Amino acid sequence: MIEFRSVSYTYPGSDVGVHDISLSVNNGELLAILGKSGCGKTTLLKLLAGFEQPNSGQVIIHHQDQSGIPCSQRRLGIVFQDYALFPHYNVLKNVMYPLKINKTANAREKAMAMIELVGLGGTENRMPHQLSGGQKQRVALARALVFEPQALLLDEPLSALDASLRQEMREEIVKIQKTLNITTFLITHDQEEAMSMADQVAVMENGQIQQCGQPLTIYHRPNSVAVARFVGKANILSGTTAQNGLIKTSLGDLRLPQTDLMADQSVQLVIRPEQIIAAPDITAPNQFAVEAIEQQQFLGHTMAYRLRVSGQPLDVYTPYLTTPLTRIAIPAESVHVIENGDF
């Protein structure tokens, strides 16, 4: 297990850094640290790797406090955004490098086995300039894993790749991570990357963890409007609670199954576009008339609409419709309520 226990760090002469971070990831899990540029996620990686030391708190790896332990002794494999391959070494020598530094026996055999594992068999004599972006990333991954590290750290590993290659590498990294059962930290600003790869996602903003949990929970049960907006497209409605699960919104009255909300309470409602029903059955509850279709985009697998409903802009994702879109319905179970104080 890897833990951050109340870890804080600010760069000298600045208040930029991370503040009171408490996180844990179990052995064999992949934790994604998700956030915008400058939110502190790379600082967190540096603290784990030993490039920086916390001002307060503890970084724990397998029950051992890492205070004062240099990065060279933490046995962590790191893959950087720019691959950081040695241009004058071929694939085999790049992968063998950490084994040579540590004077590991059977270095060549171990490196060749790892090259095969990452799907690069037959490329061991190629130079970095002869490789594609995806192949370079695989070499960097093999080099990070070949010495059997305690954990794998991935710093924006796919951001330099094109969209189709990113999808391929996501699947490949998860496959290898599960095969080796290695604890992994993924640093990313890409919501889709975090949600599709991780066992747990920690959303960071302004140097603090806003929410940590399983991807499904983060997406469907965000603890704040900021998290809801960051992890995907969301319709946010302001509302006031009434009696028996009724919430009055700018869209109109919504009836929800929740009965534990006090009346006259300000709330925010999170509704994902794909959960709104287009052209609903006439008996469906929470129906509203579509006043206008302001935008529509064909995305291949779905249509993305920007509608105007009760004067309110509303994003709706739906399969391609063969009939006019005149009404929508909002299923009560698809509405997530954020109570006052968590906006």
CATH code, domain carrying 188: 3.40.50.300
For residue 109, the SS3 value is: helix
Tell me the pLDDT tens digit for each residue of 26-83: 999 999 999 999 999 999 999 999 999 999 999 999 999 999 899 989 999 999 888 8
Please state, in angstroms and rounded to a whole number, the distance separating the CA atoms of residues 237 and 64.
Answer: 46
Single out the residue of 35, 329, 51, 340 nearest to residue 206, CA to CA.
35
The amino acid that residue 306 corresponds to is: R
- Considering the domain architecture, whether residues 89 and 56 belong to the same structural domain is answered as yes
Residue in the structure block whose two tokens are 């002869």: 130
For residue 107, the SS3 value is: helix
The more confident residue out of 80 and 127 is 127
- Considering the domain architecture, whether residues 132 and 173 belong to the same structural domain is answered as yes
Tell me the pLDDT tens digit for each residue of 179-219: 999 999 999 999 999 999 999 999 999 999 999 999 999 99
The amino acid that residue 219 corresponds to is: Y
Nearest-5° angle of CA 123, CA 129, CA 133? 80
Tell me the pLDDT tens digit for each residue of 144-187: 999 999 999 999 988 888 888 888 899 999 999 999 999 999 99
- Considering the domain architecture, whether residues 86 and 133 belong to the same structural domain is answered as yes
- Give the end of a domain, one of 227, 262, 278: 227
The rounded percent of the chain whose pLDDT value lies above 70 is 99
- Considering the domain architecture, whether residues 279 and 215 belong to the same structural domain is answered as no
Count of the separate structural domains present in the chain: 2
- Considering the domain architecture, whether residues 64 and 24 belong to the same structural domain is answered as yes
- Considering the domain architecture, whether residues 74 and 159 belong to the same structural domain is answered as yes
Please state, in angstroms and rounded to a whole number, the distance separating the CA atoms of residues 105 and 310.
Answer: 71
Is residue 35 classed exposed, middle or buried when 0-12, 13-18 and 19+ CB atoms within 10 A define those classes? Answer: buried
